[in-house]
Amino acid sequence: MTAQAGTFVPAKVTDQTPTSPLLNPDPATYEPRYISGFGSNNTFTVFWEDRRPGYPADNYPVFAATTINGPTGFPTEAAICNVTDTHFCAKAMPVTVEGTNYAYRAWGAVGNIPQHRFYVANDLTNWRCVSTFTITNATGFNPGEFAYYGFHDVLLINGTYYAWGEGNGGGTLMVRSPTGKDDWEAFARVGGDEQADGPLWLQESPIPSGAFIDLGYNRGLGKVHVRKSSGFYLAINTACRANLSPAEFEAAFTNVANWTWDNGTTGLYTNTTPILSNTTARTLRECWVVPNADPDGDWVIVYNADFKAVPGATNALGFAKLTPPPPGPVHNVTKDLYYDRIQLAVDEAGAGDVLRVAAGTYRETVTISKSLNLLGAQAGVDPRGGARTEGSASESIIDGQSSRPEGMFIKGAGATSRVTNVLVDGFEIHHATDANIRFDFANNVTV
């Protein structure tokens, strides 16, 4: 299945459990929860807290582990940090505090109250608590709602730090900071436990878990949401494309109306399907998604779960791989966007854009009313003299399915508004009822 611009559908999830990539310090009581981290591909670091029964909410031991071989390459034992906290979110974001440079920063939450902690460190285990803080609300934002849980991931966009926090009312709050230290404010709602919380309605303790994910091929950003002990759902923002300017990217990211489920719907989570669900072997909690620089490469989802059917692996870390779909076969080279259909790509193209269409059969008719270059798989190959290879494996074929008089219509608006400078090369056009190609009010057209 391919994906056109404006949609993203995960193609395949391969669960790698039941397995625990880390040795449990005490399997009888160990409860790893709330994973955060940094890194990409097969080299990454994850942090989590041990929520075993008996610990107070602000006194959970925090562990860290680094791998250079993916989730199967973790050390046999995790390193314990010198801090105890809940919702500990660590990032490899250098920062200077009181004249000292630090390689890492982290934010924690002191249980289910508004107070947070800001940490800095130069290694993974020795953290310094610089300050405590609360997250204020921007003007016009609900004064009775506050962010009392951590951020899961932090992005630096156009000079401002952004994250998603968890609100006391069960909502997902968008928060920002000019420094990425201890001066955050909540300014919008992305979704939550109630329909009024925003476009993403995920009942039963919704958690915006894991990293923000580049969906690849300018398809935007993704973010995993967790429905309590049930499943992982993917939220996406297809307007947040990598080729935008920093200011445009920021505007797209902060516009909560741009966030949908992975099939383009909004509203209740039942409008889409989970990317990973509970099974009889494990109950899902939270996760961290490892970014991949290769847009065709698998994402790694490191998650914690109760592997109740797996001896010795109860309350452990597992992992899954999500294989993203390939890009659509129609590529707007000028804008670096991909589409499933030729006509959709033509409609969204700007004047003078170059569109390349992969080999295959496209069961549609195409109307062109603007200047552009539409190039098939064998563009530039002279169809005369047998130099061209026939068939859908090599040729870009437009099949009108006998549904319209023409297979391709190049038309201007009228005698005083003609379409000009159109190049069409490298196509076969079949099954039009009248003419395979028709022209109307068109000048300087090369076919």
Q: Is the pLDDT of residue 2 over 50?
A: no
pLDDT band for 21, please (50, 70, 90 cuts).
Answer: low
Distance CA 20, CA 71 (A): 9
Domains of the chain (ranges plus CATH)? 12-323 (2.115.10.20), 330-446 (no CATH)
Q: Is the pLDDT of residue 11 over 50?
A: no
Q: What percent of the chain has pLDDT over 70?
A: 91
pLDDT band for 332, please (50, 70, 90 cuts).
Answer: very high
Mean pLDDT of 78-105: 94
User: What pLDDT, on the 0 to 100 scale, is given for residue 5?
Assistant: 43
Other CB atoms within 10 Å distance of the CB of residue 317: 27
Mean pLDDT of 330-343: 92
Q: 375 is written with which tokens?
A: 């190039």
Calculate the CA dihedral of residues 431, 433, 436, 439 and round it to 10 degrees: -150
55-69, 85-99, 138-152, 310-324: least confident range: 310-324
Q: 257 is written with which tokens?
A: 């109306």
| Helix extents (H) in 119-272 | 246-254
User: What pLDDT, on the 0 to 100 scale, is given for residue 124?
Assistant: 97
User: What pLDDT, on the 0 to 100 scale, is given for residue 325?
Assistant: 79
Distance CA 181, CA 120 (A): 9
Beta pairing partners, 439: 410
User: What pLDDT, on the 0 to 100 scale, is given for residue 6?
Assistant: 41
Distance CA 66, CA 46 (A): 7
User: What pLDDT, on the 0 to 100 scale, is given for residue 38?
Assistant: 94
Q: How far is CA 46 from CA 2, 69, 204, 300, 357, in A?
A: 32, 13, 26, 12, 41
> pLDDT digit string (tens) for 231-269?
889 999 999 999 899 999 999 999 999 999 998 999 999
User: What pLDDT, on the 0 to 100 scale, is given for residue 403?
Assistant: 78
Q: Which residue has the higher pLDDT, 403 or 179?
A: 179
User: What pLDDT, on the 0 to 100 scale, is given for residue 295?
Assistant: 87
User: What pLDDT, on the 0 to 100 scale, is given for residue 367?
Assistant: 94
Q: 171 is written with which tokens?
A: 């909502």
The model's pTM: 0.86
Sheet of 115-121, strand order: 86-91, 104-109, 115-121, 127-134
> pLDDT digit string (tens) for 149-159?
878 899 999 99
Mean pLDDT of 286-309: 84
Q: 241 is written with which tokens?
A: 């494309």
Mean pLDDT of 428-443: 85
Q: How far is CA 418 from CA 74, 79, 146, 233, 440, in A?
A: 64, 70, 57, 48, 8
User: What pLDDT, on the 0 to 100 scale, is given for residue 13?
Assistant: 57
pLDDT band for 435, please (50, 70, 90 cuts).
Answer: confident
> pLDDT digit string (tens) for 160-176?
999 999 888 888 999 99
User: What pLDDT, on the 0 to 100 scale, is given for residue 185?
Assistant: 95
Q: Using alpha carbons only, what angle is made at residue 419 by residues 416 and 421, rounded to the nearest 5 degrees?
A: 130
Mean pLDDT estimate for the chain: 86
pLDDT band for 110, please (50, 70, 90 cuts).
Answer: confident
- Of the ranges 59-68, 114-123, 149-158, 314-323, which is most confident? 114-123
User: What pLDDT, on the 0 to 100 scale, is given for residue 1?
Assistant: 29
Q: What is the CA 3 to chain-centroid distance, rounded?
A: 14
Beta pairing partners, 377: none
Distance CA 35, CA 288 (A): 6
Mean pLDDT of 28-38: 83
Mean pLDDT of 392-414: 86
